Amino acid sequence: MGTWTSRGLRGSALEDYINHTNEQYRNRGLALIQKIPTPITPVKIDKEQRHITLAYFDQRSTVDYIGAVQGIPVCFDAKECAADTFPLQNVHRHQVDFMEEFERQSGIAFLLILYTGRNQLYYMRFRELKKFWERMTGGGRKSIRFEELDPGFFFSLKNGCFVPYLEEIQKDLDKRE
């Protein structure tokens, strides 16, 4: 079981950028997306500093973000990848299951992946994630090569910190019709 001091809960530049973007989208009335906190149980607390120094996860988290864009339910997870191969171990079965159920309810589920070595973002539609997931669970490759990704869903940060994912959601919607 992971703890508060584990790798999974160290801050993420991508999450900071997304949080900033979500605030901008909210201020403009374009979307209401919120970061879902991971439920924890504190074990050690520094009473002088009033900080949690050690905690355990209460339960598995689903996705990082959830909300609505112009009346459309949206959920997504943010991932960072330093190499040109994205390990599917970074996505958990319970996340895939949640995203699949979310899509069945007419929502849009996706991953935002920052390829830090290339400084490129990728919007991975749930259908695409599901294809790679099924390949892995069927005994195939356990990672996704950069070259396997749809070139139409790569995008860049704007002004160094704005993640324009609404444009990618529109592309996703257009492909569904």
In whole angstroms, what is the distance from residue 69 CA to residue 92 CA? Answer: 25
Task: Say which residues have a Cβ less than 8 Å from residue 102's Cβ, sequence separation at least 6.
Answer: 73, 75, 109
In whole angstroms, what is the distance from residue 77 CA to residue 109 CA? Answer: 9
Q: State the Rg of the chain over Cα.
A: 17
150 is in an annotated binding site: no
CB contact at 8 A, 81 and 91: no
* Kind of pairing between the strands at 72-81 and 108-115: parallel
Taking residue 130's Cβ as centre, other Cβ atoms within 10 Å add up to 15
58 is in an annotated binding site: no
Which residues on adjacent β-strands are paired with residue 144?
Answer: 86
Six-digit token string for 19: 């949080």
Please give the DSSP secondary-structure letter assigned to residue 12.
-
Six-digit token string for 127: 């259908």
62 is in an annotated binding site: yes
59 is in an annotated binding site: no
Residues of the binding site for Mg(2+): 62, 64, 77, 95
Q: Residues within the annotated binding site?
A: 62, 64, 77, 95
